[in-house]
Amino acid sequence: MLLKNKINNLKSIVNKSEILLDEAELYCYAEDSTSVHSKVQSPDAVVFVKNIQDVQNIVRYANENGIPVISRGAGTNMVGACTCPQGGIVLNFSKMNKILDFNPIDMTMTVQPGVVLDDIKNLAGENGLFYPPDPSNYKVSTIGGSIAQSSGGAAGFKYGTTKDYILSLTVVLADGTLMKLGSDTIKDAVGYHLNQLMIGSEGTLAIVVEAVLKLIPKPQSSRTVLAYFNSLDDAVEGVNNIMRDRIFPATIDFMDNNSIFTVEQFYPCGLRTDKAAMLLINIDGFEVSMDYQQQCVERALKSAKASNIEVAKSDLEIERVWTARRASFAATAKLAPDVLSDDIIVPRSAISKMVSGCKNICDKYNLKVCMVGHLGDGNIHPQVALNLENENEFKNYFQAKAEMYDLAKSLGGTISAEHGVGLEKVEYLGNIVDNAAIDYMKKIKKFFDPNNILNPGKIFKI
């Protein structure tokens, strides 16, 4: 626990009605969307910051007193990235949730870090524009969290991820200094791209207090093609055919039979539960191109022995099938007390080996796994339902996880495509990232945050 006088001093820095100190309230901030912590630690205080100055004042005070500062958006990351293993002050950004500027000619939006992605997407959409990054929980997750975790989503295949839509960032450094990084222009070749360095840095280098986002024109039309297969290999062959034919859908997502079955059990959407795998393919573009794109996709899928192909054309139907896909984590969570989702990525050509390898590893350790993923990217999410209090399952899970990571490495992939490292993957970092590169990362961290107050313990131990 922090000394009481240090906490009391916080009351002279920000309005005391914006500070939580009650034990029960603090406990709500001890966890995020992962559940593997053996020991849960509450922060010492939570502050609802309302403006940049609040952030600067708190960070400056924390730096002078060696107090950890943990930024928090919606708390939905899956790697323990906004937990507080050393206590400290949580900055809650839910009151810095305004869209500050929207410029339809420059096609940019200036946002505070607590803005929910859905609000960004909606305002862009109402004006014929598009903000593509779409983590499956975009209806609740924030832009600050997305920037910090380098979030992706289904649209990554065609449109890229968060890193491709950040023009400039305004950040507060560990000593409270305010700094603007990047330029609000489409191109910028002036010096080091420090704005990009912040993306994926998990709140360990600086705190984002404003971001200027790039928007693109919204595709005029879209359709979702669902294709079912009698084997996983056929589904992967369907993806390979799409690549070979140089078709460029917006997304190529996938659900295995366990996922389809589990979703249908809890959120019935009319998916075919007797099939080994399903691909969800979005095509988009000019309305006149839709029939042609659909024909190309269907031809590629048929030559991979797709057993059934269905097309959702209306917005309502498209929303229905994507809701099914996005519900898979929540549905898997109903199978056991805990669910752990991973986000391995391999080169596309190795996806078949990775998917079947993960399945075999989970079978070997008797783990129930529902697999979904952004197959077009080579990115899969094995979602394991288990009881972490069962010693055997706990041990088996960690053995299986290590084997899945080794397999990803041997196939030329890596251990996180879009969820980040947080606390969960710290111990695996040395196995996947060049040791010299980790040394450089640590030097960068030390330069930005000499007293190690910004989200300490995440990504690596200093």
Q: Please report, as ranges, the residues that interact with ligand FAD according to CB under 6 A.
A: 32-33, 70-78, 81-82, 93, 113, 135-137, 141-142, 144-146, 148-149, 151-153, 202-203, 207-208, 329, 418-419, 455
CA nearest to 227, candidates 288, 159, 276: 276
Q: How far is CA 44 from the centre of its chain?
A: 27
Q: Of the candidates 50, 46, 100, 95, which has an alpha carbon nearest to the alpha carbon of residue 71?
A: 46
Determine the Cα–Cα distance for residues 140 and 119; give it in Å rounded to an integer. Answer: 9
Least Cβ distance, residue 136 to ligand FAD (angstroms): 3
Q: Which is nearer to ligand FAD, 293 or 416 (CB)?
A: 416
For residue 206, the minimal CB distance to ligand FAD (Å) is 7
- As a whole number of angstroms, the distance between CA 459 and CA 462 comes to 10
CB nearer to ligand FAD: give 285 or 457.
457
Q: How far apart are the first and last CA of the chain?
A: 21
Dmax (CA) of the chain: 71
Closest by CA position to 262, among listed 366, 338, 335: 335
Inter-helix orientation angle 4-13/52-65, to 10°: 150
Least Cβ distance, residue 335 to ligand FAD (angstroms) = 15
Cβ of residue 137: shortest distance to ligand FAD, in angstroms? 4
Nearer to ligand FAD, 92 or 241 (CB): 92
Inter-CA distances, 20 with 76, 222, 246, 298, Å: 20, 45, 54, 55
Instruction: Fill in the DSSP letter of residue 78.
Output: S
Cβ neighbours, 10 Å, residue 60: 17
Query: How far apart, in Å, are the Cα atoms of 56 and each of 63, 76, 316, 364?
Result: 10, 25, 45, 51
CB of 395 to ligand FAD, least distance (A): 25
Query: CB-wise, 197 or 311, nearer to ligand FAD?
Result: 197
Which neighbouring-strand residues pair with 221? 285
Closest to ligand FAD by CB, 96 vs 225, is: 96
Smaller CB distance to ligand FAD: residue 88 or 285? 88
Report in angstroms how near the CB of residue 103 gets to ligand FAD at its nearest.
22
User: How far apart are CB 252 and ligand FAD at their closest, in Å?
Assistant: 14
Q: How far is the CB of 230 from ligand FAD (least distance, A)?
A: 27
Chain residue at closest Cβ approach to ligand FAD: 145
**Burial (CB count within 10 angstroms: exposed 0-12, middle 13-18, buried 19+), residue 21:** middle
